[in-house]
Amino acid sequence: MFSSFSNKIIIYALTVSCGVLYTSSFSPIDFKFGMFLSLIIFHIILLKGHRKNNILLAYIFGISVFGSGVSWIYNSIYNYAIQDIIISFSLTILFVLLISLLFIPIGYFLNKDSKINYPLFPIMLPTIWVVLEFIRSNIFGGFPWLLVGTSQINTFFDYLYPLYGTKFVSFIIIYISIIFSFLFVRPRYLYIHVSLICLFLFLSLFLNLNNVIVSNKLIRIGVIQPNIDISLKYDNEKIDIIKQKYRQLLSNKTDEELIIFPETAIPIIYNYDKDFYRKIISKYNVEILSGIFRQDSDGKIYNSMVLINDFEQYYDKRQLVPFGEYTPFSNIFKPISDVLNIPMSNLSHGSPNQSDIKLLDINIYPIICYEAAYPNLLKLDYNKYGFIVNVSNDGWFGDSLAPYQHLQIAQSRALETGYPIIRSANTGITAIINSNGKIIDSLAFNTEGYIHTSIKPVKGNTFYMYFGDYPVLMLLFSLILLHTFYLRRHG
């Protein structure tokens, strides 16, 4: 009896360790191989357990992943909303418990009682896992954080992102991991799956389906990281101090033709404070791209980006952060929003169809903060040269894993699109990311600074940006159909 209890404790401890190992594969730790170790060990544990217990183990694994990987949510709730330790901690735990539910189907499907000797079984686990990633990325506004594929940027798998996208990389990583896990139970047909994945990865090396052309024109850009504490940003009495910080940083300007400010650079409605920007443009003979709060003629307020030169071009954020920028199902959740009391949390969604921002004949493709996690928001004009600008304010999450994870997500967008990304973040991490997802310059978190850079715009498209996630969705749908047909036919 004691031995049985001890074994359970070991299994639970291993499961928790696998979840932490999963998180360690993401930035800033970047232990890439940790993802494979995590999944292989976790799958072996599930293969040796019964379904009922595995459902619990899968849930514990999910809690470990999100408990170690996104506990930074507590920082934003406690420091800038409720400022009550018990309520802030409870809400963070509630979030982790709810989102971890999406791991339960993995334990239900993979267990000691599974029919592992039928031909499709090894490929069905990555199918289920990636379906769950799609659900998590879209349900209730979505939370596409800590996707398996995101962890593997700047590795051998980089060539797959512009071809198939991050979620397909998730599929491949999980597929490889389950094959290694299955070596311990030696099911039939495993050699077929080993051959299939090796052949696929080999042939993909020679696919030339990306059509991205680099311009010869250099655009000189300055990028500002002011490092303004959130407690100052939303104190109206400190606005002049914030403006002075920008003026000081602008003294670093040399020959840049465009200066990029971070998300909501000046935290008051832009309509009432245009003079600050206009004076900078007049003094430095430069164009400004800045994150702002904007109010339209109907009184709606948006988290926006504006390019200011002789006239103004706007982009309004489309993918807002639930409870941080708007209240989903407000008739149900408004009491929670009232308790959180986060500044500027009643924003409006931007229109899904907005005009491109143009810098002369160059397109600027804007994504604001959380939108970097949604590749479908990037509507690229493949016939015109352009680059991507991501403005953000990760100061909400304090000195945590969040700013590093957010930057890693932006890197995956650069890989998928083949376009360079300029990232300006209030407290960091500001970075210049090339079209291969590599960081060529950056400013450390919690520092202030100014980056001088020159980039070459690109045009064209990658295979992934042309087709999006439709190929992987078709693959998942086809595999589920085959699985269903096989079960009906063979029982």
Q: Could you give the CA distance from residue 97 to residue 95 in angstroms, rounded to a whole number?
A: 6
Compute φ and ψ for 167, nearest 5 degrees. -70, -30
3-state secondary structure of 133: helix
Nearest to 151 by CA among 236, 251, 36, 66: 36
Q: How many angstroms separate the Cα of 137 from the Cα of each of 175, 222, 370, 371?
A: 20, 33, 12, 12
In this prediction, residue 76 carries a pLDDT of 76
Q: How many angstroms separate the Cα of 59 from the Cα of each of 9, 52, 115, 251?
A: 16, 11, 22, 53
Nearest to 412 by CA among 446, 437, 444, 447: 437
Which range among 27-36, 113-122, 156-165, 195-204 shows the weakest confidence by mean pLDDT? 113-122
Which positions ≥6 away from 110 have C-beta within 8 Å? 43, 46, 47, 54, 125
3-state secondary structure of 129: helix
- How is the chain split among helix, strand and coil, in percent rounded to 5? 50, 15, 30
In this prediction, residue 1 carries a pLDDT of 38
Rounded to 5 degrees, what angle do the CA atoms 356, 359, 363 make?
40
pTM attached to this predicted model:
0.90
In this prediction, residue 78 carries a pLDDT of 66
Bond before 29 cis per omega within 30 degrees: no
The average pLDDT across 322-339 equals: 61
Q: Are 432 and 220 in contact (CB under 8 A)?
A: no
Q: Could you give the CA distance from residue 127 to residue 264 in angstroms, rounded to a whole number?
A: 40
Q: Are 173 and 37 in contact (CB under 8 A)?
A: no
pLDDT confidence band for 385 (50 / 70 / 90): very high
pLDDT confidence band for 282 (50 / 70 / 90): confident
What dihedral angle (degrees, nearest 10) is formed by the CA atoms of 249, 251, 252, 253?
110
pLDDT tens readout for residues 92-150: 899 899 999 999 999 998 888 777 667 778 899 999 999 999 999 988 778 899 999 99
Q: Could you give the CA distance from residue 383 to residue 460 in angstroms, rounded to a whole number?
A: 6
3-state secondary structure of 160: helix
In this prediction, residue 235 carries a pLDDT of 66
The average pLDDT across 6-26 equals: 92
Q: What amino acid is encoded at 79 in this protein? A: N
* Residue predicted with more confidence, 311 or 79: 311
**Burial status of residue 187 (CB atoms within 10 A of its CB: 0-12, 13-18, 19 or more):** middle
Per-residue DSSP letter, 356 = P
pLDDT confidence band for 5 (50 / 70 / 90): low
Q: How many residues does the chain have?
A: 491
Q: Quote the mean pLDDT of the chain.
A: 88
State how beta strands 287-295 and 258-260 pair. Answer: parallel
3-state secondary structure of 193: helix
Q: Which of 218-232, 239-253, 268-282, 462-476 has the highest mean pLDDT?
A: 462-476
Per-residue DSSP letter, 110 = S
pLDDT confidence band for 56 (50 / 70 / 90): very high
Q: Render 118-167 in DSSP notation, one character per residue.
A: STTHHHHHHHHHHHHHHHHHHGGG----S-GGGGGTTSGGGGGHHHH-HH
